[in-house]
Amino acid sequence: MSAELVATAQRHLAGISLEVVSQGAEAIVFTTETHPYLKTKPALVDNKTKFIVKYRPPKPYRHPRLDSQITRSRTASEAKLLQKLLLLGVDAPRLLAMDGTNGIIWMDFVGFTLEDGTVSSLKNWLWLMERRQEAVPEDHAKSIALGAVAEDIMKRVGAMVAQLHLEGIVHGDLTSSNIMLKASKTNEVERPTLIDFGLSSYSGLAEDRAVDLYVLERALTSTHSVYAKEYNGFLVAGYEAAHKLKGKLGAKACTETLRRLEDVRLRGRKRSMLG
């Protein structure tokens, strides 16, 4: 099944060597070292130029005409959002090319390979910090998973989500896999970057912003249960600080969102009690 979809993608992308990195409900994501229209620069030994191809295959259970309309509009909407974020100066992959008809988006590869061989998503990075911590004595423990670097990253994530929200955009699927860490140019600190804008939309509703925060909170709780509380604390601190920079209006929006977040949490708890 999957092989068939890969073959279809390959047919639309003749001459491009594709490597699967992820298969989700809606899209297959590939990496490639071939740029769609630039001659690939000579590959450096440890830092090969890589690009992402995100492919939304046809859904056989949908009517073909409706399906192609949906594919086209979701592909275009994600591509447009990448461009919007570029203009706003929000860190995100850069759009390189798009084929709406076949559901294909080309973008920059963001992130790098962590020392345990996994991609530098926030999720994998936090895991790595926690695993490192297990390897050291109790009293040193806190300094790794909850140390200054982790705190700084989580605050930056919060600030980045705030930046998005302040522009009236909600991410729509804000999990810790959809946040990548990018090695900064100077290579000293990692910088968070958002990816996967397939479900993003423009919204001025506190409810939608609160749901973004709640989804991330849930994702952190389920994958990093020991430190989730602290991580979420940093996250909210970064979120709040970024809003305060925007004066009264920013502070007001923030209060509204965080108040709504409490409602959303409560609803979530009730729902899980009902099973």
Binding site for Mg ion (CB under 5 A): 178, 196
Nearest-angstrom CA–CA distance, 102 and 9: 9
Min CB(43)–another protein separation in Å = 16
At 42, is the secondary structure helix, strand, or coil? coil
Tell me how far the alpha carbon of residue 221 is from its chain's centroid.
17
Which residues are at the interface with another protein (CB under 8 A)? Answer: 13-16, 34, 36-38, 76, 79-80, 82-83, 86-87, 94-102
Residue closer to ligand ADP, measured from CB, 179 or 210: 179
For residue 52, the partner it binds in Mg ion, another protein, ligand ADP, none, with Cβ less than 5 to 8 A by kind, is ligand ADP
Query: Residue from 5, 8, 10, 26 that binds ligand ADP (CB under 6 A)?
Result: 26
Q: Any idea which residue has 């070292």 for tokens?
A: 33
Q: Any idea which residue has 């609803």 for tokens?
A: 267
Min CB(79)–another protein separation in Å = 6
Min CB(206)–another protein separation in Å = 29
Instruction: Annotate each residue in 69-98 with x if it binds ligand ADP (CB under 6 A) or - if it does not, as one string.
Output: ------------------------x-----
User: What's the angle, vertex CA 155, arms to CA 242 and CA 113, rounded to 5?
Assistant: 130
Min CB(129)–ligand ADP separation in Å = 18
Query: Residue from 144, 195, 220, 228 that binds ligand ADP (CB under 6 A)?
Result: 195
Q: Any idea which residue has 């090319």 for tokens?
A: 97
DSSP single-letter state for residue 113: B
27 C-beta neighbours (distance < 10 Å), count: 22
Is 174 near ligand ADP (CB under 6 A)? no
Min CB(35)–another protein separation in Å = 8
Residues tagged active-site: 173
Residue closer to another protein, measured from CB, 70 or 114: 70
Contact, 110 vs 195, CB < 8 A?
yes
Q: Which residues pair with 19 in a beta bridge?
A: 31
Query: Residue from 103, 158, 172, 198 that binds ligand ADP (CB under 6 A)?
Result: 198
Span near ligand ADP by CB under 6 A; candidates 17-25, 136-144, 181-189, 256-264: 17-25
H/E stretch holding 196: none
Q: How far does the chain reach from its first CA to its final CA, in angstroms?
A: 33
| Binders in 206-265 for ligand ADP, by CB under 6 A | none
Residue closer to another protein, measured from CB, 88 or 205: 88
Min CB(245)–Mg ion separation in Å = 29
Residue closer to another protein, measured from CB, 40 or 222: 40
* Interface ranges with ligand ADP (CB under 6 A): 21-22, 24, 26-27, 29, 52, 54, 93, 107-111, 119, 121, 177-178, 180, 195-196, 198
